[in-house]
Amino acid sequence: MSTTITTFLTADDVAAAFRSPQQLIELLDDPVNQTGVLNTALRDSIIARVNGMIKSKLSRRYELPLVVADADAETVHSALLGAEMVMFRYYAMEDKPNLLDAFKAFQSNFDRQMKWLDNIRDGVDFLGTSKTVPGAEARSESLLSSDHEGTFTRDRLRGM
């Protein structure tokens, strides 16, 4: 059997990722003129930006809807959701330079997720084990990764 993933990040995913609604309100609130109310326009624009970035990064190999085996659906969904939430938090903090300096981890997590998405796009890392596009080969592990940088480099061949 297979599962179809039809959407990337949604407002419900964002709400579920925070321990309380107040955390999301504080993250998206204007630091100077705080309202204490959820800024849904900003939330929705960040969600659209994240979804656009994910689609752009994955478009060379994957398209919505993603059709994955039932056994892989949770793994694929969790991996994508984790990357999307890192991107969401980073973009929410991006326009607050006074806070971004305090949260260098946001920058490093964002960079790591961008590298992972680029590796998926370039075929170095794989998303899921099942056929997600026509002609794709089936994978034997849930997520395959390789940090192999090649056998021959200029430094290794020098002096031979």
Chunked in runs of 10, what are the mean pLDDT values of the chain (160 residues)?
82 91 88 84 93 85 79 84 91 74 76 89 72 42 47 58
* pTM, full prediction: 0.70
Angle between the 21-28 and 70-94 helix axes, to the nearest 10 degrees? 40
Which tokens go with 75? 């793994």
68-82 core/surface letters (b: 16 or more CB in 10 A; e: else): bbeebbebbbebbbe
Q: CA torsion sign, 105 to 94 to 33 to 49?
A: negative
Contact between residue 45 and residue 92 where contact means Cβ atoms under 8 Å apart:
no
Task: Name the average pLDDT for the chain.
Answer: 77
Q: What's the pLDDT tens digit per position in 72-91? A: 888 888 888 989 999 999 88
Distance between CA atoms of 4 and 6, rounded to whole angstroms?
A: 6
